[in-house]
Structures are given as structure tokens and as C-alpha cells.
Structure 1
Amino acid sequence: MADESTDGQAPATGRSRGGVCPTGRRRRSPSRRRRILRAAAWSAAAAVLLGGSGLGFAYFKLNDNISGVNIDAKLGKHRPDNTPNGSMDILVLGSDTRSGANAKYGKTQSGARSDTAMVVHVNKKHDKASVVSIPRDTVVERPSCARDDGGGTTPAQRAMFNSAYEAGGPACAVKTVESMSGVRMDHYVEVDFSGFKKLIDNLGGVEITTKKPIKDRRSNLDLSTGTHKLSGEQSLGLVRTRHAVGDGSDLGRIQLQQAFVKALRDQIEKIGVFSSPTKLYKLADTATSAVTTDSELDSVDDLAGMAKLLKGIKSDDIQMSTMPVNYDPADPNRVVPMKSKADKMWAALERDKAIPKSATKGSAGEQTDIGGVVR
């Protein structure tokens, strides 16, 4: 050590290993084992301090990754009442913006649209979930919405559902869902294309079994019959394809998305991300960079709390449904809600009940052949 002389004797000044104690007795030189233990203790202390600094850096970096939107401030008080039964409703959107890293997925648009929309209802026991997909091509009454520039939009009687996001951003999408369902959205989560791909790649891919080949040149998807471990690019192709399955409508694509959500939940359970700090941080870094949330979820603590809350829900505990619709007689490329059945579906969520089969029976969304394509 630095305070020892080269001949093994104690230096003239300072406290020495082999010096004299105040009692007059000479100190015994510590054993090699004690020196090793002392060095190990100092090393452990240093590791804790450095590790804490690293965790602090990681925490602030992950926090900075997250984009938040104050939905409550934009919508004000004119919203459905909060149901005080402990359940939770979350609007999850997949944004189809074509800017930045997403540009290769289509022509640049003046504004993004909600390519995928799901209302996720978590029951009051937090052990089951109901997921209701809203077809992007649904004709709806879009309410007036405030814009970021301080202006506003006028109500529209026959607007496509996914135009709400383009017209007024996340708050308008939430307002439109609440207007048509009567169910208050407790939270909002948006995921973009490029972030979705990275997330799947960091998970090591997601396993899907196809009963029929799926080939879609527009989505760069070419899958033979059998089981596949899909990369991020392939996964994005699967959840976006519509021309290679069913009748080529958005309704067929929705069922592929629902099958993928369950497979994704199984993959997260399978790889055990919490067993590896490195894997967990990498996944968290990608996930937080990929999402925009409401302001009540825009921190690592808040997202971690929600993840913990949802942790016990397995894929078999998720009920998948599509809002009941019929094809629009005025435009076969659009669908219109089946009001009485849709009301029954939303009422079930509000009462924290499972969605009855009678709510979806006869819907065009239940008549696709996608069940025979993937499992």
C-alpha cells in the first residue's frame, strides 16, 4: 500500500499497520485474509456509490425519453364521469405519422392519423382485461376539438375515426372515443412505428403461427405456413397488413393485431426481463422513447407503477373484441357502428363486466376469416 516503506517497516509518520498502540503494545499486522476482506468492503462500497449514480443517470435519461400530453387540461370538465370502482380504461393508439424514421412506411402526410386504436379496460381486481379495437375506417360524429395552435376544429357529422388525431391530436382522439362510448379514458398511450420495431427487436422477436401463407408486398411481409419468430420489421408488417388477409379491409387487420397483442404478452412473460438489469434497461430505454402518454403517466415511476399493476394479467386473461360495425351502405370502404350492440359493449366496460357475446354477434368484424390464418 502507499503508506508502507519498501522494506516492510512502518513509515515514520501516520498510523501504521505494525506500529505501537497507546497501551504500549505493538499492533499485530493484519492477516492477508483481513486485508482482502477490507479491500472487498471498500470495493463494494464504491460499487454501490457508482451503481447509484448509474441508476440515477438511467432514471433521468428514461424520464427525458417520455413525451407527455396534458389531456385533462385540453378537455376540461365536459367529460364522462369517472367510475370509482377501481377499474381503469386506457386508450392505446398506434400513430401512422410518416415523418422522421417512419417516412419509409408511406408518403408524408400533413398530419399523423391513428393507424391502430384500442380501448384497454382493466378490471377492478387488476387480473383481467378487455380490449376493444375501434376500426380506423369507422364513420363517427367527431366533436369540436382544441388545437395546439390555440384554434379549434368544427364538429363533423361523417368523419373517419382516425381523422380525430389529425384534427386535434391525442386530446381530440380521447374526446372522440369518450363521445362515442360514454366511457371516460383514465389514460392515454401512443406508440409510433419505429419505436414499435425496436421494442420487438429488443424482446428478441415475437412468435406467431400462421395456418396459411401471408404475403403482402406493401408491408414487406412474406410468411409461409408454420411458426415464425418475427423481427420488429416483420411484426410491424403483420399488424399493418390488410391486403394479404381476409377481404382486404381494416377489420381483418384488427384481428391480426389482436392475435399479435396476445403473442407479445406471452413473449414478455417468457423472457423474464426483470432477471437481467441490462436487458431491462435496454427494453425500458426503447419503450420510453417509443411512447407518448398523458401527463399522469409521463414519468418512469408512473409507468413502472402501471406495469406492476398489469403484471398479473396473462394472455389468457385478455378478452379481445372489435366494436360492432356494419359496412357503410354509402361507402363500402367505411364501416358504421351498430349502435345498440356498441352501447351494450361500452355499458359492460362501465360496469366492469366481461363483454357479452351478444354485443358482437352479427358484427362485420366477427365475420372475417382471420381466425383461420394465425393463432
Structure 2
Amino acid sequence: MVRQEKKPRSRGRKIFLAGCAGLLVVLLAGGGVALFAYHHLQGNIDTVDINQALGEDRPAPLPTGAQDILVLGSDSRSGVNGDLAGGNVGGTARSDTAMVVHIPKGRSRATVVSIPRDTLVTRPACTTTKGKQLAAAQRVMFNSIYTVGGPPCVVKTVETMTGLRMNHYVEIDFAGFKELVDAMGGVEVTVDTPIDDKYSGLKLDAGTHTLDGTQSLAFVRTRHGVGDGSDLGRIGLQQKFILAVLTQLQRQNAFDNPAKLYGIADASTKALTTDSSLGSLSSLATFAQSMRGLKSSSMDTLMLPVAYDRIDPNRVVPAEPQDQQLWQALRDDHAVPAAARKSPAHGGS
């Protein structure tokens, strides 16, 4: 396992947001930055060598040419992130958010599948970030896998669950996420019911709001102020935010403002960790060019179907057969059928 480490602040202090990763690659595809800016942005990026850690025992790439990306973040709020959206949790790091982003051939649409952090899964034998061999284990809470094994073990688990090869891996830093949203000038979201979450610090009336970086971070972490107070409600807010980011990007047309474009790209790359094959501006730009046809209206967001665990009702497990119907549809590059969207633990789709 080889990891290029340039910034100690980034280790174990990542928060995911799929829209941010998509934002970065779209911006960089616009080109036009000066050479000094290119080198500066390139120096911001951290990488992790997922392929070396996982070896050859992985699902084969899809013959259709579809791409699957695991976008992940942790809930650590130590160090520079200590005062953000909930405070310090002792320096530990768990995968606070996980999404599988499936992009079919043609790159004009995408399916985003959120995996609830409290899902009990079988963790396969894997090699940790530090090169240690970790034995397989059953009934492991999904968000703990990052803590004990790092990105390689999370990717290995997701590939085992889904039968999909993760072509790329992306993390976004907690503090960097805040700076990114502020560089965009905030993000506009609409909520149907009031939100009052004392844990994340978010309080919003029903209606449309432009959230700054601090509020946006609280928004994607809020769960006590929405729905039944579980992680399932938070997933809905995260997916709403993804679509809001993409919609705003399209509306703002940042390419017409070079200074703003550079500010967003700078904040993005400071926050970003990718797999080594995606960890350069040229690789990101190439990938972005293939994504230019993707719009928020063509993104299908859903949650892995889950059911409450029979032993511990505070945990969920993948619902059968809906979960396998979902992953099979993505492996076949088909639209996800209605039957695969039914989640017993969430009262439907």
C-alpha cells in the first residue's frame, strides 16, 4: 500500500459529498488555468493506491464501459475539523457517508446509491491502509470498516456487496468541504418542513435557503431534526444537496468567471483525496470531459434497500431480494426497477 502524504491535516479527516467531487472534475475540464495555477492545484491533491492494496481478486470491469465510483467520507472532527458540525469525537474516523455512483456508457445519466452507515455487513478479508491483513468478519457495522481498515477495506467490502468493480475512489475533507461551499457563494436548498437539530446546530424554517459552508456541513450531517431521527433521514438530505450543487453549477456557469472558477478548484483540490489513477489534474480533466453531458435532472438518487435487524432494531441489514435486484440492474447497466427500490426499514422507496 503506497499513499502519497503531503498534508497531515487530511489523514482520517474526510467527509464525502458526491456533488463536490463531480463539481471538481467538471470545473477542471474547463481548462484555461495558467501553468502556475496548474502546479498549485496539482500539489493540493492527495492520493491512495487502492489497486495495489486490493490486488487481482476483484470484480471484472463492466463490459459496457460503465464507471463505478465509491465516494466516501468520515465523521472524524479532530484537529482542524474539531469545531465543525458536531465537535470533536476523539480523533476516530468512521465512514459517515458512502455512495456508489454508477455512470453508464455515454455518461449522460447516473445512479447514486447511498449505503446507510448503520448497515450490518460481512467484511471480507482485506489489506488495511497500513498493509496489515484483516480477517473476514460478519455482522460488522459498515461505518466501522474505515476505522479499522481504511479505504482499501471499505472498497473491498463494497465490491463484495455489489459485484461491481469500483473504478475510482474519492474522499472530501471535512474542513475543505466548508471552504468549497463558501467559494461557490453558498448553495441554495429547499426544505419542505422545518429542521431543528441541536446536535449539528442546524435550524431552518420550511422554504428556500442559501446555505454557507458551515450551514451546508450541518445540513448533510443532520439526522435528529428530520424524519425518524435515523441515518435514513440524513441520506435524503445528502441526496437533496447533491442535486442542489449540480443545479447551481449549471445555473451559475462558473466558466465565465475565471477568478471564481479558480477559487472553487483550489478549495476542491485542497479537500480532495482520490485513488492514484485519478489523482492528477490531467486524469481528472479527462474524466470530466466524459461527464459533460451529465445534468442533475438525469441523476437517479436512491438508498440501498434495508430492513431492521431482528437482533438489534437499532441497526439495519440489506433487504433481500431487493438489494441484489438493485446491484444486478447496475451490473447490467439497466434502470433500477421499482421492486428494487422498496426499503422495509424506510416505509417504501
- TM-score, normalised relative to structure 1: 0.81
* Residue 196 in structure 1 maps to residue 177 in structure 2: yes
Q: C-alpha offsets along residues 30-60 of structure 1, whole Å, 9 cap, x if unaligned?
A: xxxxxxxxxxxxxxxxxxxxxxxx8221111
* Residue 303 in structure 1 maps to residue 258 in structure 2: no
Q: What is the deviation of 1:367?
A: 4.3
Q: What is the deviation of 1:238?
A: 1.0
Matched with 1:261 is 242
Q: Of residues 339, 355, 359 in structure 1, which corresponds to 2:320?
A: 339
* SS of equivalent residue, structure 1 residue 310: coil
Q: Which amino acid in 1 is paired with 2:69?
A: I
Q: C-alpha offsets along residues 153-188 of structure 1, whole Å, 9 cap, x if unaligned?
A: 221111001111111111111001001111110000
Check conservation: 1:137, 1:335, Cα contact below 8 A: yes
Matched with 1:236 is 217
- Distance, in Å, in 1 between the alignment partners of 2:106 and 2:347 is 28
Alignment of 1:277-316 (within 5 A): 277-316=258-297
Q: Which amino acid in 1 is paired with 2:58?
A: R
Alignment of 1:1-375 (within 5 A): 55-104=34-83, 105-365=86-346, 367=348
Matched with 1:32 is none
Cα pair distance change 1:148/1:117, threshold 3 Å: closer
- Distance, in Å, in 1 between the alignment partners of 2:276 and 2:306 is 32
Cα pair distance change 1:276/1:366, threshold 3 Å: farther
Q: What is the deviation of 1:225?
A: 1.6
Matched with 1:30 is none
Count of paired positions: 315
Q: What is the deviation of 1:207?
A: 1.0
- Distance, in Å, in 2 between the alignment partners of 1:110 and 1:290 is 18
* SS of equivalent residue, structure 2 residue 82: helix
* SS of equivalent residue, structure 1 residue 116: strand
- Distance, in Å, in 2 between the alignment partners of 1:70 and 1:350 is 24
Q: C-alpha offsets along residues 297-344 of structure 1, whole Å, 9 cap, x if unaligned?
A: 101111122222222211110001100000112112110001311111
- Structure showing greater relative contact order (alpha-carbon pairs closer than 8 Å, 6 or more residues apart): 2
Check conservation: 1:240, 1:253, Cα contact below 8 A: yes
* SS of equivalent residue, structure 1 residue 234: helix
Q: C-alpha offsets along residues 62-102 of structure 1, whole Å, 9 cap, x if unaligned?
A: 11111111111000000011112121000001222222221
Check conservation: 2:117, 2:231, Cα contact below 8 A: yes
Cα pair distance change 1:307/1:365, threshold 3 Å: farther
- Distance, in Å, in 2 between the alignment partners of 1:317 and 1:347 is 20
Q: Which amino acid in 1 is paired with 2:72?
A: L
- Distance, in Å, in 1 between the alignment partners of 2:217 and 2:255 is 25
Check conservation: 1:203, 1:267, Cα contact below 8 A: no
- Distance, in Å, in 1 between the alignment partners of 2:130 and 2:217 is 32
Percent of matched pairs sharing the same residue: 52
Gaps of 5+ in 1: 1-53, 369-375
Q: What is the deviation of 1:232?
A: 1.0
Check conservation: 2:46, 2:274, Cα contact below 8 A: yes
Q: What is the deviation of 1:110?
A: 4.9
Q: Which runs of 4+ in 1 moved over 4 A?
A: none
* SS of equivalent residue, structure 1 residue 208: strand
- TM-score, normalised relative to structure 2: 0.87
Check conservation: 1:71, 1:294, Cα contact below 8 A: yes
* SS of equivalent residue, structure 2 residue 108: coil
Compare CA radii of gyration and give the structure with the larger one: 1
- Distance, in Å, in 1 between the alignment partners of 2:119 and 2:248 is 31
Q: CA RMSD in A?
A: 1.5
* SS of equivalent residue, structure 2 residue 170: strand
Check conservation: 1:92, 1:189, Cα contact below 8 A: yes
Gaps of 5+ in 2: 1-32
Cα pair distance change 1:182/1:79, threshold 3 Å: same
